[in-house]
Structure 1
Amino acid sequence: MTHGGNIIDELTTDHREVEDLFGRIEASPSGAADRKRLIDEVTIELVRHSVAEEQYLYPAVREHVADGDAMADKELKDHAEVEKILKKLEGCSAEDPQLDRLFMALKDSVTRHVQDEEVNLFPQLRMACSAAALDTLGEKVRTAKKMAPTRPHPAAPVTPPANKILAPGAGLVDRARDFVTGRGKS
């Protein structure tokens, strides 16, 4: 899928990629090493996506959308739920009987979150911001995803400025760990 464009297009592309990964996970047999590799891949994508949303999408929603504070708070609560599930999945082996149950909980939670963003939040943000502002936010999101952590950090701050300061350092450590272990390499 092609990345680029404004923040809404960028994040929607991420949503479709995660949905594709969910389908590939469901198609792989329970207990298979490939299933765990795909779960690691979806974890990487979800963490990077969430960090970028927390750094740029939700602050923009707070600033520009009516009742934006409540909307952003609800989305951050969704992120916290997903991050806890991802942390549990991170500790599972391919053969762990909890893996399938946790994956289904993750899929359900992410699907609800994506639906809410695409039906409620994105249209309101599109109406509240200029095309130029949305394009600028898209660039910032793409940059943030490159520096973001690749592993769940449930205790990390989720609002600026702390998340913008700490996420790149955690991202560097995560990418080093991934390089050493081969995690995230297809």
Structure 2
Amino acid sequence: MTASREQDVLDLLVDQHNEIKTLFGQLPRAQGVEKRELFQSLVRLLAVHESAEEIVVHPTARREIDHGDAVVEPRKREEDRAKRELAALYDLGTEHPDFDAKLAQFANAVIEHASHEETEEFPALRRSSSPEQLRRMAGAVRAAEATAPTRPHPHSGESATANLIAGPPMAVFDRMRDAVRDWRESHRE
């Protein structure tokens, strides 16, 4: 087995949190095409990460940990706000004069959200789940990410059911839009 196959869901998600933080750190220093590409990477990572959490992690935490609703509901509200803010940033664009200030506010909220997950939800889930269950959940998260939308859809809902039903069609549409965008950008003169 490779290390990635042995990685449990919580380690996988913390690694993704660290990748998100790295992108937030790189974006303010970047300009032009590099900034746009870094932001597109951030948007994609956040969109698939949050969808996978909503499909796999939060429902399990709600069921398995003591006071699961009290732990999960605030995270879901934060994620719902983050989807709306990320969609607004996406619409604003990296060249807009307000982009950097709005990105900084958004980064602070996302990092705070990740901290809540890492100090509240994840340790409780680790205590209540077997190592094998956490490894299997990592596989489920990877599968969910493979079919998740690549940009935020704030009006699609944040429940596991909404993501399972609406996610794959939106993901296909998003990937088509991404391909067209990438083609256009590669053929600019």
Partner of 1:84: 84
* Partner in structure 2 of residue 7 of structure 1: 9
Q: Which amino acid aligns with 2:156?
A: A
How many equivalent pairs are there?
182
Shift of the alpha carbon at 1:3? 4.7
One-letter code aligned to 1:85: E
Q: Which moved more, 1:161-170 or 1:124-133?
A: 161-170
Note the C-alpha offset of 1:139.
0.4
Q: Which protein is richer in helix relative to its size?
A: 2
1:74-130 CA distances to partner (integer Å, 9 max, x unpaired)? Answer: 111110111111111111233211211221121011110111111111111000011
Q: In structure 1, how many angstroms separate the alpha carbons of the residues matched to 2:36 and 2:162?
A: 32
Residue aligning to 1:56: 56
SS of the equivalent of 2:85 reads helix
Is the aligned partner of 1:152 residue 2:160?
no
Percent identity of paired positions between Structure 1 and Structure 2: 29
**Residues 17-67 of structure 1 deviation map (CA, whole Å, 9 limit, x = unaligned):** 1111111112224xx332222112101100100000000110011000111
Which residue does the alignment assign to 1:109?
A: 109
Letter of the 2:123 partner, please give it. Answer: P
Q: CA, structure 1 residues 27+3, in 2 after alignment: closer, same or farther (shift >3 Å)?
A: farther
* Preserved contact between residue 85 and residue 105 of structure 1 (Cα < 8 Å): no
TM, length-normalised to structure 2: 0.90
CA contact (8 A) 1:157 1:163 kept: yes
Structure 2 gap ranges (5+): none
Q: Structure 2 CA distance, aligned partners of 1:163 and 1:24?
A: 30
Amino acid at match of 1:28: A
- 2:166 counterpart letter in structure 1: L
Tell me which stretches of 4 or more aligned residues in structure 1 moved more than 6 Å.
none
Which amino acid in 2 is paired with 1:7?
V
Instruction: In structure 1, list runs of 5 or more residues that go unmatched.
Output: none
Distance 1:154 1:69 in 2: 21
Asked if the contact 2:150/2:175 (under 8 Å) is kept, the reply is yes
